[in-house]
Structures are given as C-alpha cells and as structure tokens.
Amino acid sequence: MKNLILIRHAKSSWEAPLKDIDRPLSKNGLQTAHKVSSYVSKYLPKTYLFWSSVAERASQTALIFAQNLSYPIESIIFKEDLYTFDEHQLTSVIKSCENHFDNVILFGHNGAITNFVNRFGDVFIENVPTSGFVSMQFDVNDWSSIEKGKTLKIIVPKNLK
C-alpha cells in the first residue's frame, strides 16, 4: 500500500519583481499554511517522507508544515524536478520514489497537482487551491506501478473556519 499526500503551496506574493521560482508566500499564504498544517495531523500516517519543490513558496509551505507537525526540517527532501506545472513530470518523480517509503507528503505546484489528482484519484477536483491538501492511496507495493488510486481526504482551506 502506498499513500501520497499532495499539498499545493500556499498563496504566493507578487509584490516584488522576482523570478517565478523566487516568489515567497504572501501574508495570507503564511496564515493559511499554518491553519491547514495545524488541522491535518489526524489525516496523516504515523511515518512519512516530505518532498518539496525547490521554489521558495513551496519550500516555505513545507517548512511551515514541518514546524507544525514536528517533522525535522533537515529531513525535508527538496527536489528540483518538483518545480513543475506538468502532471507527466510530477508523475515521473512520484513513480521514482524508493519502495521502502510507503508514505510521501509532496509540496508542489498547480497544473501538475490538480491534473495528477484527477488522473490518479477517484474524485474529480476542479482545482486544488493554494494550501489545498489531497490524500490518496494506491493498492500497490511499488511506486512505479501506481495507477488509479483512492482519494481519501480533500481539505480546502476556505472550509476551515
């Protein structure tokens, strides 16, 4: 059994003229990342691996979740190939995970996340919002053979009041 949690980075700031990869979280994004990360602990497996895109906004989101979930920040794996908006590249990265890891929490970007969830999950989601959380389960023992899985939990930040 393989469990995958996809978290779209929190809302980013457009205030400074920066390259896309360097955009930080906005004030609202910081607040929302804290709110969602404080809520999700009951939906997480006992052990898991954190993977994050190297983009500043995804990295900051992963760090906030790590802090609030007591996950060691030095254990976060930052992957350049997760800085993608393409679900085919995202799928390739996920399928490359070592099989001794059964649970992965991945911080990434849209286009890729929404399309991946709709391709591999059993619940259609029009758009995974910023700070959105989608938990999926695959009845396989090998990451490279994931196909259609089960969508276990969807958390949309605007529904957390």
| pLDDT range class, residue 15, cuts 50, 70, 90 | confident
Check which CATH number belongs to the domain holding 19 and give it: 3.40.50.1240
Domain count of the fold of the chain: 1
In whole angstroms, how far apart are CA 143 and each of 4, 47, 103?
Answer: 10, 17, 10
**Helices (DSSP H) in 8-159: which residue ranges?**
27-39, 56-69, 87-95, 112-120
pLDDT score for 59: 98
Buried residues in 48-75 as b, exposed as e (16+ CB within 10 A): bbbbbbebbbbbbbbbbbbebeebeeee
Residue 105: other Cβ atoms inside 10 A: 25
Domain that holds residue 60: 2-159
In tens, the pLDDT along 18-65 reads 999 999 999 999 999 999 999 999 999 999 999 999 999 999 999 999
Give the tokens for residue 80. Answer: 């350049």
The pTM of the whole model exceeds 0.85:
yes
What share of the chain has pLDDT > 70, as a percent? 99
Residue 27 burial (C-beta neighbours within 10 Å; 0-12, 13-18, 19+): exposed
Residue 16: other Cβ atoms inside 10 A: 8
- What torsion do the CA atoms of 92, 90, 149, 143 make, to the nearest 10 degrees? 40
Cβ contact 11:131 at 8 Å: yes
